[in-house]
A and B are shown apart, each in its own frame.
Chain A
Amino acid sequence: MWAYTLRRLLYAVPILLGVSMLVFALIHLAPGDVVDLLVPPEVPKEIADSLRARLALDQPLYIQYLAWLARLLVGDLGISFFTSRPVSEELFGALGNTLMLALPAAVLGFALGVALGALAAFNRGTALDRLFSATAITGVSLPHYWVGIVLVAIFAVILNALPAQGMGAGGFPTDWEHIRHLILPVITLSLIPMGVISRLVRANVLEILSHEFVGTLHAKGLLNRRVLYHVMKNAAPSALALMGLQFGYLLGGSILVETVFNWPGSGGLMNLAIFRRDIPVLSATILVLATIFVIINILVDVLQALIDPRMRR
Chain B
Amino acid sequence: MADAPAIPLADPAETLRRAQQGKGYWRRVWKRLRQDKVTLAMAAVLVFLLIMVIFAPWFTTHDPYDGSVLRRLKPVGYPGYWLGTDEVGRDLWSRMVYGGRLSLLAGVMPVFFALLIGGFLGVLAGYAGGLINSAIMRLTDVLYAFPSILLAIAITGILGSGLQNTILALSAAFIPPIIRISESVSAQACHLDFVEAARASGSGTLMIMRYHILNNVLGPILVYATSLISIGIILAAGLSFLGLGVTPPNAEWGLMLNNLRQALWVDPVIAALPGVMIFITSMCFNLLSDGLRQAMDVRL
Contacts and interface: CB of A to CB of B under 8 A. Distances in A.
Q: Do A and B bind each other?
A: yes
Interface of A: 14-16, 18-19, 22-23, 26-27, 29-31, 137-138, 140-143, 145-146, 149-150, 152-154, 157-158, 164, 248-249, 252-253, 255-256, 259-260, 270-271, 273-275, 279, 282-283, 286, 289-290, 293-294, 297
Contacts of A279: 158
Contacts of B154: 22-23, 26, 283, 286
B219 interface: no
B18 to A, nearest CB: 34
Interface string B256-268: 0100010011001
Given A274-B243, A279-B158, A143 B264 contact: no
A58 B269 CA distance: 54
B150 A149 contact: no
Contacts of A141: 230, 234, 279, 282-283, 285-286
Contacts of B269: 153
A157 B275 contact: no
Interface stretch (B19-27, B77-85, B137-145, B203-211): B137-145
Contact of B282 (A23, A143, A274, A289): A143
Contacts of B265: 157
Contacts of B157: 270, 273-274, 282, 286
Contacts of A30: 158-160
29 contacts: A15-B141, A15-B142, A18-B139, A18-B142, A23-B158, A30-B158, A137-B286, A141-B286, A143-B234, A145-B238, A146-B272, A146-B279, A149-B275, A150-B272, A153-B264, A249-B147, A252-B149, A253-B147, A253-B149, A255-B149, A255-B153, A255-B242, A274-B244, A283-B154, A286-B146, A286-B153, A290-B145, A290-B150, A293-B147
Instruction: Output the residue of B147, B149, B275, B286 with the most chain A CB within 10 A.
Output: B147
Given A16-B145, A157-B268, A293-B147, 20 more contacts: A15-B141, A19-B145, A26-B155, A30-B160, A140-B230, A142-B282, A143-B275, A145-B238, A146-B257, A149-B264, A149-B275, A153-B268, A153-B269, A252-B147, A253-B147, A253-B148, A259-B241, A259-B242, A273-B157, A289-B147
A286 B145 CA distance: 11
B142 A22 contact: yes
A256 B234 CA distance: 11
Interface in B105-156: 138-139, 141-143, 145-150, 153-155
A19 B257 CA distance: 32
A120 to B, nearest CB: 16
Contacts of A18: 138-139, 141-142, 145
Contacts of A154: 268
A143 B278 contact: yes
Given A138-B283, A145-B238, A14 B138 contact: yes
A183 B238 CA distance: 22
B287 interface: yes
Contacts of B178: none
A293 B244 contact: no
Nearest to A12: B145
A282 B157 CA distance: 8
A279 B160 CA distance: 11
B193 to A, nearest CB: 25
A308 to B, nearest CB: 19
B187 interface: no
Given A143-B234, A143-B275, A270-B157, A152 B149 contact: no
Contacts of A138: 283
A260 B258 CA distance: 9
Given A30-B160, A31-B159, A290-B145, A157 B264 contact: yes
Contact of A271 (B139, B242, B271): B242
B196 to A, nearest CB: 24
A279 B157 CA distance: 9
Contact of A252 (B146, B160, B230): B146
A80 to B, nearest CB: 15
A275 B138 contact: no
Contacts of A27: 158
A165 to B, nearest CB: 10
B295 interface: no
A157 B269 CA distance: 10
Closest 9 CB pairs of A and B: A146-B275, A18-B142, A153-B268, A141-B283, A252-B147, A141-B282, A253-B147, A26-B158, A143-B234
